[in-house]
Each structure stands twice: as structure tokens, then as C-alpha cells.
Amino acid sequence: MLGLNARDLQILLLVAILTMFAPFFLNPFPVDSSLAQFNAGYPDLMQRFVIFGIFAIGFNILFGLTGYLSFGHAAFLGAGSYAAIWMMKLLTMNIIPAITLSIIVAGLFSLAVGYISLRRSGIYFSILTLAFAQMSYSLAYSVLTPITGGETGLQPKSNDPRILDGALEPGEQARASLFGMEMSSSYELVVSGWVFTFNVGYYVAAFLMLVSFYASIRIFRSPFGLMLRAVKSNQNRLGYTGVSARPYNLAAFVISGMYAGLAGGLMVAMDTQAGAERMFWTASGEVVLMTILGGAGTLIGPVLGAGMIKYMENIISKINQSVLESWFAWAPDFLQDFIVAVIYPFVGKGWHLTLGLMFMLVVIFLPGGLMQGIGKIGALFSRKKPNDRDSVAGSTPAAAE
């Protein structure tokens, strides 16, 4: 079905179920509960989950399959954002032309960058991509201010031409839409003490994430994907067979850049503004962390890593000292002060410390990422009995995807 084997189809269906029912899964606690702090089912965060999931899926096609580590993918994210915002300013607030142009512009930009950067490999390739990203950031921040808006960025204005849209009423704000459905529109379902929010923008982004995920599965299982794995395994040996790896590397780089452009276009579709900060080197480093944390070379891993980092950035970072004190109000004062003093450095503004420790533990004990840990847990429950004749001693379970 859909050109997928049974296992891949199960993975796709699992991701689809988790994505479509995310408002329920991400709001496990009633709104008046002290644990409602950990609910993540609000539109802005859910949109970030799927958009950065797309970004990480695309990066994984390059890094996970070929082994080429790019520190400049934020440049394509930013290029896609600027292309989308200009399409909304000049043509229409309908997100389809904006997203289409963001993919095209990011693809062309990545073609130019990849053509030059892929002349080198290893750390030299990584430094070249980082240099391109930083040059792009500097250009967007200062030199190309008339096009990029510089420090303040760009957003749609009421006096923009927008050829396909009618004139706005005085004081009316331009809003991104999909054939009349505004991305900011939401419906709330109240069930007892729970509130579940269904947002148009989230489901549009979620649908595109599922399409992107399906495309990545087809790439992974295709002969093209096998060639990329061969590049990662031993590029020199591949060259001895008479096959040039460079066209495959460049194709993977461009596809990965187009995924980044799609993510950038969706950012503008959800929040109609674009700024140079999306091209900064930290944004490139973030997608590297997402991919490695979840599991480079796996299918679900990058999505899981993106969700983990965005959850910590938006939920763990909001736990301040007063929240901790309210949680441990039952304890005697001296014990409460001690517990708060121990936990506080790892939450709130210190959430990066928690992320760093988690990343360190994953790299040391689970080099295959969180997916390796999930695979090991699954192996514990599916392990055959010792007296099974068909059991193989010392066998290693296949990596989970």
C-alpha cells in the first residue's frame, strides 16, 4: 500500500495517529491541575513540533544517509521564510504560493551552496556550510536590509500590493489563509476539566509533515537511498567501481535544503513574519542536535528529537522558582528550600543545562539516539525464551526506525 512494505506502513500510520490526535495526547492533565504546566497541546507549540520535525527529517536525509554534517542548513530555512513573506506581500496571503516559492528558492540556494561545499568532505565541508550560513545571516541582517528588513524583519502590511487579494479595509490586518480558512482559527473542545484545541494552521502543517515523512520513507527505501548509504559506508570504494558519488551527494543536499525551505515557509504561514535570526548558526546547530538526539539515519528519530527539544524549550523553560515552591508546598520549609535549590538550576533559564546533560548521556550510552533506547526497551519485552530452538545467542536487534 502506497508503495511501502508492512513495517514502513505501520510506522507511517503510527506517526499519522500521533499527529492527528496530538491535541489529546499533549494535554493529559486538566487545566486546573498543578501538572497542567506540562501540557503542550496549544497551537503555537504543536506547530513548532511538526515544522521543526520537517526541518529535522530533511536534515536527516543528508546527514543520516550520506554522513555529511552541515552546519549551515539554517540559511535555507531563512531563505524559505523570506521567499514566503515576499509572496504574501506581493501576490496573496494564501499560503500555497508562499510555500511553493519557499521550496523553490531554498532548492536553488542549496544547489549553489552544495555545488561549492561538496568539493570538500569531513570537517572542511561542515566549515564551508557554516561560513555560507553566517554570510547569509550577515547579508540579511545588514547589507540586504531593503529586501530582508534587517534587524526588524518583514511582515505583511495593509498597504502591500497583493495582486490576487482585494484591498483591505482600514485597520484590517492581513492574515495567512488557505482558501479562506485562516491559519490562526481554532476550535476548543471542553470535556470536564480538559480543554483540547484544534487549530487550522497546525493541521495544515501536520499534513505537510506527514507528506514529507512519507517522501523520506520512499527515499530511504529507494535505490537512490541505497546509493547514499554506500556513500556513507565507503565513498572511496564506491569511486573504485566507477560511480561518482558527487551527483548523489548534491541531490541529497538539495533535497535536504528544500525540506528546510518548506519548514521556513510554514513558519511564515503560521506566524506571518520573517527575520534574520532564523539564519543564525545556532539554528543550524539546533537541527543537528535534534537529529543526533533522536537517532541519525532512522525514520522517526529526527521527529522525536525535534519534539523533545521544542518541548523542553517551551515547557521546561517556563518552570520558575514560584512554580517549584507551589509543587513542594507540602514539605517542611527546610526540605522545600533544599529541593527547590537542587532542581531550579535545571529548569527555567537553566533548561539548556538539562538538554546538555541529556545530550551527553545519549551520546555516551545511546550513540544511536533515543530510537536506540526505544529499540532496546522493545527488545526486552520481545526477547524469546532461552529454550527456544530458533533463538540465536548474542544476536543484536535491528535498529528501530
Residue 227 sits in a domain whose CATH number is: 1.10.3470
Residue 177 forms part of a structural domain: yes
Rounded to two decimals, what is the model's pTM?
0.92
**Which pLDDT score is estimated for 68?**
95
Look at residue 215 and tell me whether its pLDDT is greater than 50.
yes
Three cell numbers at 269?
504561514
* Mean pLDDT across the chain: 90
C-alpha cell at 372: 536506540
pLDDT given for residue 13 in this prediction: 95
Quick check: is 293 in a domain? no
Give the total number of structural domains in the chain.
1
* Average pLDDT, integer, range 59-84: 95
Instruction: Examine the pLDDT at 259 and tell me if it is beyond 80.
Output: yes
Residue 61 falls within a domain, yes or no? yes
Domain-embedded: residue 134: yes
| Confidence at residue 50, expressed as pLDDT on a 0 to 100 scale | 96
Question: From CA 45, how far away is CA 54, in angstroms rounded?
Answer: 14
Is the residue at 82 inside a domain?
Answer: yes
295 in a structural domain: no
Q: How far apart, in Å, are the Cα atoms of 33 and each of 8, 39, 189, 340? A: 38, 10, 17, 20
Of 20-34, 110-124, 374-388, the range with the lowest mean pLDDT is: 374-388
- Asked if residue 78 belongs to a domain, the reply is yes
Residue 377 scores a pLDDT above 50:
yes
How would you label 301-339 residue by residue, b for 16+ Cβ within 10 Å and e otherwise? bbbbbbbbbbbbbbbbbebeeeebeebeeeeeeeebeee
Please report which confidence band the pLDDT of residue 399 belongs to, taking 50, 70 and 90 as the band edges. Answer: very low
* Containing structural domain, residue 47: 36-280
State how far the Cα of 308 lies from the Cα of 375, in Å rounded to an integer: 17
Measured distance CA(401)–CA(395) in Å, rounded: 18
Beta-bridge mates of residue 187: 198
pLDDT confidence tier of residue 349, bands split at 50, 70 and 90: confident
**In this structure, what C-alpha cell is assigned to residue 175?**
492574515
pLDDT higher than threshold 90 for residue 240 = no
Helix (H) or strand (E) holding 198: strand 194-199
What's the pLDDT score for residue 65? 94
**Statement: residue 401 has pLDDT above 80:** no
Residue 212 lies in a domain: yes
Residue 378: per-residue pLDDT:
85
Name the pLDDT band for 261 (thresholds 50, 70, 90): very high
CA angle 7–12–13, rounded 5-degree value: 95
